[in-house]
């Protein structure tokens, strides 16, 4: 399936639409969809500056696929001179002096920034309701959450307010919202995309990733931001494989593992669709068999210990001297934090401050390596693993289907593996269900090729028709 980026690029290139009219159309759309609360800031001025630059690129014949394409950023990604809050009152007047490396890469290609997306405070949550700006609404059903913490990014893409969005994923924050909104979300290998300019939650686990409306759109953006950054200590050196040109290479001969015991923990409808996807891969020529990842069940605990202790030390900088408003006391100074963040700071500091508890952090790190090793062994036999992205669809308030919400996501997170969530079909309630595709380190090209093969075989059946209210 051709993505929206390629379609729009063609229209821009052939001068059937102008970059300015495209930008205006999207800015209008954002106004119409204000009740979704998907944006904390709309960046009209930046959008117009970016558009002018895109026009120049087209005039000079230096345009790329991303030139003039309207996009957004989760509000924990820095944008120079533009309010960047990470969904927190503590940063309600923070204007960074640099662009995040990933945004800088896109800007160079003429990407048009429409705005900054609402999110769970500092990326802590799974429903996009811990933001100081209030909860985000799922565009597919206003009673449901779009998931979190990159819920604003997912809602913006699913409602046609942005062609794509950069988000962040520490323990599922791109993949869960993608699953709940019927979009495609890629959490790349840890260190593939630079974390410079991403407001830190857990330095050992944070990754910048992409949410878009199709596999090819994710691939086009990934190729532009998948770059070594000498100013990020954890950026991976070495060659990066391009993904866009090889999407339709098919899955013949690939070894696909379906993680059955994990899949069996999901809702019956999810299970049914994941098994149907496995069958589709078999029909397309892949070798499909059942696989077990022995240490999978430990991932949630490993995640909790590492993420909270990292968060406690990363958030120590909001002390009213370096960042944040200074109050009369420590308590006053830290008053800007919401309840979820406070709870995690307390938990994290408890882990880091007592001798006995500190061993918990060490234990979690050892277990993290063990889990990564067990994946390594599995990837000696398989090219790709498939499993659900979530238990079921986005829940209604009070519904208990958020059960095991991190369970499907954290194993790839703590193992630093790339993984993608894509729609796999619909529930009887009309909402999308998600499939997760995981590969070995730096094998995003294989993930995207495998995802594309399924999307192609389903011929659009996995995407909601008419969800997008305007087309060009």
Could you list the active site residues? 74, 149, 173
In three-state secondary structure terms, 463 is: coil
| Minimum gap (Å) between residue 284 Cβ and ligand GLN | 31
> For the residues of 251-317, what is the DSSP string, one character each?
-TT-EEEE-HHHHTTS-HHHHHHHHHHHHHHHHTT-EEEE---TTGGGHHHHHHHHHHHHHHHHGGG
| Minimum gap (Å) between residue 397 Cβ and ligand GLN | 17
| Minimum gap (Å) between residue 213 Cβ and ligand GLN | 21
Q: What are the backbone angles phi and psi of residue 275, rounded to the nearest 5°?
A: -65, -35
406 versus 455: smaller Cβ distance to ligand GLN? 406
Q: Under 8 Å CB-to-CB from 254, ≥6 apart: which residues?
A: 281, 286, 287, 383, 384, 446, 450
Strand partners, 288: 256
| Minimum gap (Å) between residue 172 Cβ and ligand GLN | 5
Q: Other C-beta atoms within 10 Å of 48: how many?
A: 15
Residue with tokens 């194993």: 411
173 versus 415: smaller Cβ distance to ligand GLN? 173
In three-state secondary structure terms, 457 is: helix
Using CA atoms, how far residue 151 sits from 38, 159, 393, 456, in Å, is: 7, 12, 14, 26
| Minimum gap (Å) between residue 240 Cβ and ligand GLN | 24
Q: What are the backbone angles phi and psi of residue 266, rounded to the nearest 5°?
A: -85, 170
Helix (H) or strand (E) holding 7, with range, is helix 4-13
| Minimum gap (Å) between residue 338 Cβ and ligand GLN | 13
Q: How far apart are CA 212 and CA 1, in angstroms?
A: 13
* Residue number closest to ligand GLN, CB atom: 173
Which residue from 47, 173, 182, 44 is spatially nearest to 106, judged by alpha carbons? 47
| Minimum gap (Å) between residue 56 Cβ and ligand GLN | 37
67 versus 309: smaller Cβ distance to ligand GLN? 309
50 versus 149: smaller Cβ distance to ligand GLN? 149
Q: Other C-beta atoms within 10 Å of 233: how many?
A: 10
126 versus 293: smaller Cβ distance to ligand GLN? 126
101 versus 201: smaller Cβ distance to ligand GLN? 201
Q: Which residues bind ligand GLN (CB under 6 A)?
A: 123-126, 149, 169-173, 201, 307, 406
171 versus 191: smaller Cβ distance to ligand GLN? 171
Which residue from 398, 392, 399 is spatially nearest to 430, judged by alpha carbons? 392
């Amino acid at each position: 399936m051709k993505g929206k980026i390629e379609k729009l690029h063609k229209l821009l290139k052939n001068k059937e639409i102008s970059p300015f009219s495209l930008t205006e159309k999207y800015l209008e759309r954002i106004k119409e969809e204000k009740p979704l609360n998907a944006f904390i800031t709309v960046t009209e001025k930046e959008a117009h500056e970016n558009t002018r630059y895109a026009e120049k690129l087209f005039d000079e014949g230096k345009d790329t696929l991303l030139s003039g394409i309207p996009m957004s950023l989760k509000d924990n990604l820095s944008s120079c001179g533009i309010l960047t809050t990470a969904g927190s009152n503590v940063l309600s007047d923070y204007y960074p002096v640099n662009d995040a490396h990933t945004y800088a890469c896109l800007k160079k290609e003429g990407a048009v920034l429409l705005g900054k997306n609402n999110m769970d405070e500092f990326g802590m949550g799974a429903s996009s309701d811990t933001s100081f700006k209030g909860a985000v609404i799922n565009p597919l059903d206003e009673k449901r959450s779009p998931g979190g913490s990159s819920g604003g990014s997912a809602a913006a893409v699913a409602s046609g307010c942005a062609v794509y969005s950069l988000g962040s994923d520490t323990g599922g924050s791109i993949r869960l919202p993608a699953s709940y909104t019927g979009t495609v979300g890629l959490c790349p290998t840890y260190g593939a995309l630079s974390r410079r300019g991403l407001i830190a939650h857990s330095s050992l686990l944070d990754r910048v990733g992409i949410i878009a409306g199709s596999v090819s759109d994710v691939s086009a953006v990934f190729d532009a931001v998948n770059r070594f950054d000498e100013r990020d200590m954890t950026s991976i050196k070495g060659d990066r494989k391009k993904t866009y040109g090889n999407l339709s290479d098919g899955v013949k001969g690939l070894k696909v593992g379906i993680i059955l015991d994990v899949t069996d923990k999901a809702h019956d409808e999810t299970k049914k669709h994941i098994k149907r996807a496995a069958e589709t891969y078999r029909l397309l020529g892949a070798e499909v068999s059942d696989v077990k990842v022995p240490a999978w069940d430990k991932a949630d605990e490993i995640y909790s210990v590492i993420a909270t202790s990292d968060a406690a030390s990363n958030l120590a900088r909001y002390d009213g001297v370096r960042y944040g408003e200074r109050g009369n006391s420590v308590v006053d100074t830290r008053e800007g934090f919401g309840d979820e963040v406070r709870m995690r700071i307390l938990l994290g500091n408890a882990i880091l401050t007592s001798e006995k508890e500190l061993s918990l952090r060490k234990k979690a790190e050892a277990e993290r390596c063990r889990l990564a090793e067990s994946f390594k062994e599995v990837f000696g036999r398989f090219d790709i693993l498939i499993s659900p992205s979530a238990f079921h669809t986005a829940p209604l308030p009070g519904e208990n289907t958020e059960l095991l919400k991190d369970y499907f996501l954290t194993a790839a997170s703590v193992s630093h593996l790339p993984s993608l969530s894509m729609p796999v079909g619909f529930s009887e309630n009309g909402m999308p269900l998600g499939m997760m595709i995981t590969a070995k380190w730096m094998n995003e090209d294989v993930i995207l090729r495998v995802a594309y093969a399924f999307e192609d075989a389903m011929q659009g059946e996995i995407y909601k028709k008419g969800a997008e209210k305007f087309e060009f």
